[in-house]
Structure 1
Amino acid sequence: MSVQFKYAARSDVGIVRSNNQDSAYAGPHLLVLADGMGGPAGGDIASSVAVAHLAPLDDDVPSADDLIDQLRDAVESAHDELMNRSDTDPDLEGLGTTCIAILRSGTKLGMVHIGDSRAYLLREGELKQLTTDHTYVQHLVDTGRISAEDAEHHPMRNMILRALGDTDGEVLLDTSVREAHPADRWLLASDGLFGVVSHETITETLLEIADVGDCADELINLALRAGAPDNVTVIVCDTVETNSLRDGAQPSTVPQIVGAAATDRLARTRASEFSGAAGRAAKLRPSRELDESEEDTAAPRHRGRIIGRTLGALLIAIIVIGSLAAGYSWTRTQFYVAEDDGVVTVFQGIPQRLGPLALSDIHHRTDIAVADLPTYAKERLATPTTRSSLAEAEAIVENFRDLLTPPSSGGTQPAPAPAQSEEPTDSPSSRAAHPEVPWLL
């Protein structure tokens, strides 16, 4: 039996964020999704670096026995570059990224995972999450301290315990090898999707929309309609049996690169050195010359476009003026927590500016000194934590306040157990001990 990938990758900055720190790559043998962290100065670079190191595997596919080793080598190489960038550039201190990658060799699929981006498999009508989130809240669920339902609304649900980037020690990956089955549908997603769209709705969408591109578009739309407080990135991939395809129905083998890795940030990463399939995808640009008949009509069409653009600009101006008041009113319903003048502070509004106009102001300062917080909490405060109500923002403050008080047992929290997956070829439990550093997205 011979199988192929039929894939689509999509990414959107979302409604609240000002830049996209997600990156994704989908090709005939390789699927990669990375969700960067470290603020606007580093998150987009971190996810781009991860994609850049993994993308060459799509051209030079290893044997089935070497899938995990090749994936691990590429991921660890990306980690080393991120560590070097963090050490040499103060502006990039603290950058990091989640990463999930699936590499196909024949009918074998190797998968590596770190962080809280997820892989799902839809098989025979049932959608199953195959990865375990490397988060503090998932650890609480695994140890029976909270329920899965409570985890969905926990104020610390974005605290990550494992990531690539600015953290000392060995890279602890969850790894597995699986068999590719015809009619399987894979979904790779950042938390911008599953954080706001229910498992049931995702399942229904994957079942009802046959075309991978249309399905990926609809998943992005669902996240946007739900408010999209974070970047949202998805890869939808069908495993199709080659012999069942009609003539002319072969899937495209042109890689798709989306998110930060598809922007000018490539110039600052190894992605600028892409070769083969990855390079062709990154450099694709529509280009052609006008023939004589088109030259005759080009000038009138150009004048028509100018008039159309002018009228369009006027209409947009009217709409913008009419919606500014409503938009500003909406910002007054939003809150976020950040550092100000050395203390944890609650702001009302959103952490953005519209020209000279700040879209937030201080609601109140707390009595929590940032200097008294653990290092990872200080790093978290470098990026505002947005919430849709004052009560939710206060819950964030209380979590920071709890970090000032040592646990009653006097010890530290036990490290989360490594994720289990079917047919594992390697496990973090067999690797050297590693101090896990919490991250917050």
Structure 2
Amino acid sequence: MTIANPTDTAAAGTSADQASSVFERRESVVRSYCRSWPVVFDRASGAEQTTEDGQTFLDFFSGAGALNYGHNHPVLKQALLDYLGTDRVIHSLDMFSVAKREFLEAFEEHILIPRGLDYRVQLPGPTGTNSVETALKIARKATGREQVVSFTNAFHGMTMGSLAVTGNSMKRKGAGIPLHHTTTAPYDDYLGGDTTDFLWLERVWSDSGSGVDLPAAVIVETVQGEGGLNAARAEWLRALADLCRRFEVLLVVDDVQAGCGRTGTFFSFEEAGIVPDVVCLSKSLSGLGLPFSVTLMRPELDLWEPGEHNGTFRGFNPAFVTATAALREFWSDDELAATVRERGDQLRRGLEAIGADTGGHYRGRGLLAGLHFDDPEVAERVAAEAFDRGLLVETSGPESEVVKVMPPLTISAADLDRGIGLLGDAVRAATPA
């Protein structure tokens, strides 16, 4: 999302009294979302957030994908309150706990076994970039190779290893040093036309004279949430998996944003019928927005020495509790997944109708979707007009040229229609005839 100049308080939406608030006095100018949404939020429930002065917004942002089940889902919230109210263990590093055991059992029962997946579950630090860093390290350790292939417009996190496989030039520049040991390849349809995207990789990997080292892994998002909502075709993902298998290169799927049901299946790669070697999960894994991530890997890749990769907050028991509640509530059957697929179709029809009138082009999959505009300034205007109408949406893409729509997976058909209507009004206001 493009943000206003931090020194321009008018553009940032701050009034004179806000300019003297503790936010302005003490918080770093790196803050971004509050510049586009200059209100103070206080309460939230389901698909809505309410400010301290009583203004309610329909939330099609969902915590950047960390709130797939909406704000304060009552079942998840009650599980947390019950746990906290009885002096249970909160912090435990990687010690055994009842909460951890129940999470692992629920993940095995509701996610792994029904899908025929055999993964070890590693608990790294609490965020998505921790999961990605873990994946990159274990891939290099397991293969003895250094290079990792990522894709154009990829986003994998803000720490050094994750930034090295991220495409966004502004975010990469923030590292302050060169980012090495990676190669960038074209994402699905990046080159357009009938170009075979994997022709170059296959050629250089098979040619000992190419000067290109065989990589440890390829890391990919099935839908590029931050990179413009580019959605890879199932056949492209299958071809990538086959290429990696033939050259004994590990396939890592970053499912931090597209996973946990966002595309209509728990893992976003299920539709393609592939089985990655390593999977990164975070964001909505805890169900309630609590920090939590895991790295899943084939058992033979679990080659760590005890303590070789660790972290103080890799055993946050409240997140185990809410994650377990979410798995039992939403993933013990196919009801939520079916609903997400229905809502995804509803969202697609709505966005395509808006785009047909305004020059926008549908992007994405499921409830991770949006509208791309040829004029990169339009999407920012749409987001601003949506905010004025009580709807929260952000932008995506290298030039923030895509309006990004991520409602809760639990949203009602009526609320989704209401949001589509508000978005349509915003787009029309931002694209006058």
Tell me, yes or no, whether TM beats 0.5: no
Q: Point out the structure with max Rg over C-alpha.
A: 1
Which one has a larger percent strand, Structure 1 or Structure 2? 1
TM-score (norm 2): 0.25
